[in-house]
Structure 1
Amino acid sequence: MSNQEIYSMPRIGDMAPDFSAMTTTGPMRFSDYIKGKWTILFSHPADFTPVCTTEMSGFALEKNFFEENDTKLVGLSIDSIHSHIAWVNNVRKNTGVLFEFPIIADIDMKVSKLYGMLQPGESETAAVRAVFFIDPNGKIRLIMYYPLNVGRNMDEIKRVLIALQTADKHKVAMPLDWRPGQKVIVPPPKTVAEMQEREASDYEMVDFYLAKKSI
């Protein structure tokens, strides 16, 4: 396995690489599964590990939030389908939490390599904690990477999903620490006429290039 192969990874703005794989909910053609939907694809290092169990449970417990926001979930690790099923069953028995979203069995590391989830500074045999936000057109809009020993932040995952969807819907940008219900940033003017129009608006004006509004 060459470093070039390991480090080959999609970037923000790229179309999400397509693949076929077996999952805990059956065979999946990724492009078909995500078509027309927001999707979060996330990897974890291994089944039956403590941090991963808390993370996967966190996604499962937020099932209603993701459904309400028209978003599909897809998990992945470099384990067999049999290991995945046993882990899903173990967590359900011990905690009552059921992982209903598909978990990709990536035992040949095909998908992990395709998405740059293998990073040799961490491990060559376990996927780092990657999170890919994919829009309904199949484009990657945001990527997060975490090391093996630090769990993800579910509040931030939910926040950026809503931020991306809101930015698309209203053609705006989000300031630092933006939360739903707070003011958003209006794109800067491109002409003198737009600048003058802005100055006469009811926007919250810091300066002509930085203006906020409620939506």
Structure 2
Amino acid sequence: MNSIRLGDTAPDFKADSTQGEVNFHEWLGDSWGMLVSHPADFTPVCTTELGAMANYEEAFASRNVKVAAISVDPLDSHEKWIKDIEETQNAVVNFPLIADDERKVSELYGMIHPNDSATTTVRSVFIIAPDKKVKLILIYPASTGRNFEELLRVIDSLQLTQYEKLATPANWSKGEDCVILPSVSNEEADKMFPKGFTEIKPYLRLTPQV
């Protein structure tokens, strides 16, 4: 099983999906991306997750994030499952559900569960920046549904800290104070952060989100 680490280039691939063939890097373009995997079609937790992901369409679009889902089931199964998702979750699925019945993408991304069936993918999340670098990897157990508010919060943090010399503290939400990186001197901070900052400790300085 391949091991992808933070900072690696997200593997490119070509695959069929419910929205036609996906050439992954080309499909991402200049957008951020979120790729989520599912153990199988017609599973209860995943049905609620894909419905939630569909209902967060505008929130992802406003952050320039393209989303896609993948499992090892074939395309015709995906198309039938989408009907169930839309019916039961009051949602419209406008993102591609990638078919990976030959497990090529799942193995490329290390999604095959090592302690389960050889055809079962773990429930992974990969968030990818416009430069195609992997910025976040999360792995969930089958019993626990993903929290899409948390995924949006993480994306907000990643997008903020990608270009600013900032980090976000515990439980941070968009609009709240950020942490200035220790590598930035107070003199530099005065110039970089016009709203000022509060020094709690020399290594712990807070500034309002720009």
Same fold (TM over 0.5): yes
Q: Is the 8 A contact 2:124 2:140 kept in 1?
A: yes
Q: Which among 187, 192, 202 is matched to residue 181 of structure 2?
A: 187
Deviation at 1:123, TM superposition (A): 3.6
Query: Aligned in 2, Cα 1:28/1:203: closer, same or farther, shift over 3 Å?
Result: same
Match of 1:152 in 2: 146
| AA at the equivalent of 1:184 | C
Deviation at 1:164, TM superposition (A): 0.3
Query: Normalising by structure 1, what TM-score?
Result: 0.90
SS at match of 1:13: coil
Q: Deviations over 1:42-90 (max 9, x none)?
A: 0011111100001111100000100111100010001000000011122
Deviation at 1:127, TM superposition (A): 0.8
| AA at the equivalent of 2:36 | F
Q: Which among 20, 23, 31 is matched to residue 29 of structure 1?
A: 23
Q: Which among 94, 100, 105 is matched to residue 100 of structure 1?
A: 94
| AA at the equivalent of 1:41 | L
| 2:58 matches 1:68 | no
1:1-215 maps to which residues of 2 (within 5 A)?
6=1, 8-189=2-183, 194-195=185-186, 202-214=196-208, 215=210
Q: Is the 8 A contact 1:41 1:73 kept in 2?
A: yes
Aligned CA-pair RMSD: 1.9
Unpaired runs of 5+ residues, structure 2, are: none
Identity %: 38
Q: Deviations over 1:150-187 (max 9, x none)?
A: 21111111110111011123331111111111100111
Query: Aligned in 2, Cα 1:120/1:171: closer, same or farther, shift over 3 Å?
Result: same
Query: Normalising by structure 2, what TM-score?
Result: 0.92
Equivalences, count:
206
Q: Is the 8 A contact 1:122 1:147 kept in 2?
A: no
Q: Is the 8 A contact 1:35 1:137 kept in 2?
A: no
Instruction: Please list every run of at least 4 consecutive aligned residues from structure 1 whose deviation after the TM superposition is greater than 6 angstroms.
Output: none
Distance in 1, Cα, partners of 2:104 & 2:93: 23
